[in-house]
A and B are shown apart, each in its own frame.
Chain A
């Protein structure tokens, strides 16, 4: 599927360029005759770019929640247990440096006997549901490029590419037309910032909607009481309808009319969804919701569940602060305290509500950290081998895919580049990464650039 630039060369493209809203466009005002109406139904996707679109093949998952650990969590200290490393303290590491085992105690969880350190006792209880990708690698051991590559497929930060959420909306549209299809809570503020949820050269309606970890979204609060604003909106729509009826009116006026109605409705729906205060106390406690930075991730997890349940195609939440060049020991304890309970609670909640049936959850960082030491209490970046885990729709449970060497340094088996990860995610969502293209600046672009191999061994 490829969408051409809006060139206004045909009625079809005219309709496309007028696409509106979190997706709605009325054709009735434009198309009079019966034949044209028949044509309109064929064009429904072109007219409403965010309407659900037919995937390339049967999808295994319909929605994604991405729990993003920004800064590169040390997986060697959490869920990547390496017995050899644990016995190699002080030895010279490959490529230089001194091997340093994790100082945390590991134990096995579930029937699969999956290892977790003492930092993740709650996530450990989900061990048998998780699908570990244990041989990931990426191109750049610097956060700014690696973060942008994880989110957009390309490490070349200077040529901005669309983010994976934007690609998903472009390829699949979204189910709930009253909500943004791609929401990013507490998004990355450096390391590319808005690029990580932008649409770049894809049309702007595919970009992510940023929301703070307090649930704030600009301009969503009505400027006047609802009844008064309705009165005002009626006047606006009256003016718009007379314009639409005039000869030679701009084609997009009908889209404008619909976009106002949608915006008006969103003033109710969006804040209500993001308001977690009305959740039962036991839910709040299960997630560990509290005010301030300490409870940020817990709040995000709960908002993510609510948005997912409401049909939002792609939700990303973020916990920053994993860049432990120093202060690894204390830092990991603090960070894991903030994410372990909420993550586990989210998985439990999704499962209980049946949402894991069609939701894929992804947990991980832009890369990981070396088995060698940096200073007295730190680890430097490692892009040659690291892990993430998936769970939920479409992936095997209690499964390990690929592995790193004995000390957790380098991916050796089923090596999986970040482009392969994207290809696989798209495949789980029913999209062929080679067909999902957009033409810009003289060439077809893809999320996976010119690479990417679907790793279908992880499919359930």
Chain B
């Protein structure tokens, strides 16, 4: 009986895991299939009725009963796959599985119908044979030629509830007051006294079971339902407490329950297992909040439909180049302010090149632009920069900030996402291709649900959903229901703040206090994400080590994923070694010998356990697709269902169920309906990107504006709610939003429009009195200087030193790391930080695990990778000075730049100084500056000689950056795999000679200067 439950439960889990993968699997390149090679006939095109029959009757049957053993992503037992028509026809070791048109001679039917030898009967391991109905469906399907829909990838059937789920007792339960009183008086105290330490809120859900609230108790544990009302003799709970083997008996590690208490349980179950209805009412919205909601809905600017502002008349008709300029100038004229003088060409090209590519212009580009900075030359420059691959690396990074992108789960147990870089590359590629923003959003929220026939495109779209999957995750959350809803919350927060600048996640616990977002709206949206399977490759659990959290079934796979070819012998050998190691560990565990300390002061058993874990991990490594790098952290539809309000956000307190839906604050007239069979993510994405949704375009153009003008038109870029700042120029915001949509949601067109405005080209001078009128330059009378971001600082130092590699590397150093918890200060982290130190690629390609910020970025406010961050901090702290003066990175690059300047023999110091200024600051030094530097060089050189009388050529220069190494070289796959030295006091790099010392010191001063840090 218990076995049956286990098997059924396993089938249920497999079903979640597999059906979402169908899409990827069924699009495996046909050319590779054996069937085609064998010359099988082309499949007949099925009729619509056949498609319907297949999707409703056949595919669920295959998924439910066969895929555990016969699919590309599972075992392919007997060499057979049933997830693809060609594979099915090709068959396995014993030949074709089916003969189209001839069910009786099809091996599949024969094995299903096997009566004598239960061990041969399929599905193997299931207690019951297929039902007569299922068998007749299969027969009909084969008879009609084994039809298989061509567009099969686009239809993902909703998984049908498992048999175990169907056997669950209903909750809330019907109960009389007498029954309830019996429960409270006699039954609940036993739960509290005997079971809570392992099955309740304050402790854990051992075996997935909780006994402290009805909704969870009646949904059972890992082995299915624990009570069958009316039937104590069929109830697992009774079986467990009566168990004679004290190791298996409940409560564990305790004396057996007294007969009287068992009798109470039995009586209670026999009498129908009454339990009070704990479903609560949603608290009423407080009156003052409700009143405020009404007002805000009607009046708050952000939720009103887009206006169609007329371009205003301005007095100074000469100044504006574009309508954007007219909209800005009108406001300035109201305040009696005038735009300042234009920036000089050098400042302008430096500003534009940093803004569009995150890099400084080359000295030759600066020279050319100085010669010809006509409107035409400027426009050509803009187009060239927008077309460069570096544009996507800069603007892709902006989106990754908003997407809280990172390569690990972060807080709690930090588990790497080794394939997260695929999402990073998806973003860079999408930005460079200028995928329309509405489509870009749809891909990231519902890429797996968008139709396509092309495998590579299918992979791309699934990868896009990494946006939802790559959030911070608390895998150590001991209650699976809380884990799920915490992830849902992360997804709601990320989607709503990034695209709508709404703080919807506040409404998880209570009606939003400031914006009209009732809790019901939150749970309407939560239902959408709760109906989605988080396929990031992880499950939650309490405790756990090694590969415990890694769940291959919870990943998607690339279309061209190929199971590694491993010989049977190799696997058997490894299996035997693993079994031996386990035996050795079991033998020593917690014995006197095991707990004795070794020479390093650690228990001896630790090493034995480690060895077992390693072998176990290696066994997985050679056979698992995910471990071969084919995995995609992504999302797919799960069981579509509405969810209930959780009172105060507490997972255990259920309120009424709300239908899945969108925010009520924004009215989108032709909003799509969410079908009962799907999660609703696609519809949510369509609702967000509907042109009638006033927030989406406004929020996005505002983000773009901020990146070019320093401050958003709405300065709180991630919050357009009532607590955010109002727009400084509402007409401009709506004008841009409309224009953006008219231009097909093209980011490049929007940026082009903005940088070609006259306003963008202003200088940064401050006329007297202007700051009294508009201290923060919200009206754009000048161009506000901005601090370079951490990535820009690192990249431009590398560019000027001649070390920057502008190629797009294949993957990330983290792709080598396994999905095993890493320590903050452990070997994996150190090896990745070392890989980052060594890298000469652009910063966006550095390993970015949560909490493991590359040392070359850490000083200058890199983004916090746990929440949507539309605006970076730019604080000034002493650690930045220490980084510039003492870090191995800046020191080393200074030596490289010094060598670069000194390498050309026969050049004068004046020329070298000029080159240094051009490379680092994009400008020529003034004669006075050049003079100052020359005297600095000579005085530094002589001081150096005094300080190092015998130094010449003696000291060695340690180099860290390495342009030749493989990006994953030296990266440790798991913490227990190798020791990596921790960073400690390093000998600072020493110059070769006094001259190099002086030049390196000079160029380092340029890097350390505020002029380098700020772009004007």
Contacts and interface: CB of A to CB of B under 8 A. Distances in A.
B775 A262 contact: no
A262 B200 CA distance: 53
Nearest to A294: B601
Given A22-B877, A158-B473, A253-B1014, A193 B851 contact: yes
A373 B787 CA distance: 58
Contacts of B220: none
B412 A239 contact: no
Q: Which of A5, A142, A255, A374 has the most CB of B within 10 A?
A: A142
Interface string B805-820: 0000000000000000
A293 B778 CA distance: 56
Contacts of B982: 212
B565 interface: no
A443 B506 contact: yes
Interface in B753-767: 763-766
Interface string B704-743: 0000000100011011010111000000000000000000
Contacts of B855: 218
Contacts of B1010: 239-240, 243-244, 250, 252-253, 256-257
B364 interface: no
Given A96-B194, A96-B196, A203-B873, A192 B506 contact: no
Contact of B876 (A98, A232, A259, A442): A259
Contacts of A189: 823-826
A66 interface: no
B887 interface: yes
B252 A19 contact: no
Contact of B474 (A94, A156, A247, A380): A156
A310 to B, nearest CB: 16
Given A19-B876, A442-B719, A252 B787 contact: yes
B940 interface: yes
A53 to B, nearest CB: 17
B875 A19 contact: yes
A190 interface: yes
Nearest to B517: A442
B719 A232 contact: no
B954 interface: no
Nearest to B1001: A232
Q: Is chain B's binding surface mostly helix, strand, loop or mixed? A: loop
B638 to A, nearest CB: 20
A90 to B, nearest CB: 9
A259 B782 contact: no
Contacts of B202: 141, 383-384
B827 to A, nearest CB: 11
B476 A8 contact: no
B976 to A, nearest CB: 13
A326 B590 contact: yes
A19 B861 CA distance: 14
A223 B891 contact: yes
Given A10-B776, A92-B255, A248 B876 contact: no
Nearest to B988: A223
Given A5-B716, A8-B776, A19-B876, A193 B414 contact: yes
Interface string A347-376: 000000000000000000000001011111
B319 interface: no
B882 A9 contact: no
Q: Which of B255, B718, B1009 has the most CB of A within 10 A?
A: B1009
A235 B1005 contact: yes
Interface string A137-148: 000111111001
B546 interface: no
Given A96-B254, A190-B823, A442-B503, A377 B590 contact: yes
Contacts, number: 332
Contact of B195 (A96, A160, A247, A378): A96
A141 B201 CA distance: 9
Interface stretch (A111-119, A125-133, A194-202, A297-305): A194-202
A22 B411 CA distance: 27
Contacts of B487: 158
Nearest to B710: A8
B551 to A, nearest CB: 18
A219 B879 contact: yes
Nearest to A152: B411
B363 to A, nearest CB: 19
B1014 A263 contact: no
A259 B254 contact: no
B886 A250 contact: no
A351 B826 CA distance: 37
A212 to B, nearest CB: 8
Interface string A370-410: 10111111101101100000000000000000000000000
B585 interface: no
A289 B42 CA distance: 80
Nearest to B932: A238
A166 interface: no
A188 interface: yes
Given A96-B194, A384-B202, A231 B476 contact: no
A443 B511 CA distance: 13
A264 interface: yes
Given A158-B472, A194-B824, A221-B988, A205 B877 contact: yes
Given A204-B875, A216-B985, A264-B881, A228 B944 contact: yes
A233 B489 CA distance: 49
A267 interface: yes
A252 B983 contact: no
A95 B255 contact: no
Contacts of A235: 932-933, 936, 1001-1002, 1005
Interface string B529-548: 00000000000001100000
Interface in B409-459: 410-414
B411 A13 contact: no
A192 B414 CA distance: 8
A248 B764 CA distance: 5
B863 to A, nearest CB: 11
Nearest to A442: B503
Contacts of B861: 204
B414 A239 contact: no
A259 B877 contact: yes
Contacts of B933: 235
Interface in A168-211: 187-195, 200-201, 203-205
Contact of B885 (A148, A222, A330): A222
B313 interface: no
A231 B766 contact: no
B778 A9 contact: yes
Interface string B967-999: 000000000000000111110110000000100
Given A222-B885, A232-B1001, A326 B595 contact: yes
B137 interface: no
Nearest to A252: B876
A232 B687 CA distance: 58
B966 interface: no
A228 B947 contact: yes
B876 A20 contact: yes
A190 B828 CA distance: 13
Contacts of A243: 1009-1011
Given A8-B776, A188-B824, A374-B253, A17 B1009 contact: no
Given A96-B198, A224-B988, A327-B595, A441 B497 contact: yes
B293 to A, nearest CB: 15
A212 B711 CA distance: 39
Contacts of B721: 442
B74 interface: no
Closest 9 CB pairs of A and B: A263-B881, A442-B503, A193-B824, A144-B412, A157-B411, A248-B764, A95-B197, A96-B251, A8-B776
Given A157-B474, A222-B988, 14 more contacts: A7-B776, A145-B412, A145-B476, A158-B473, A160-B410, A160-B472, A195-B411, A195-B851, A236-B1008, A239-B1006, A256-B1010, A294-B601, A327-B590, A334-B601
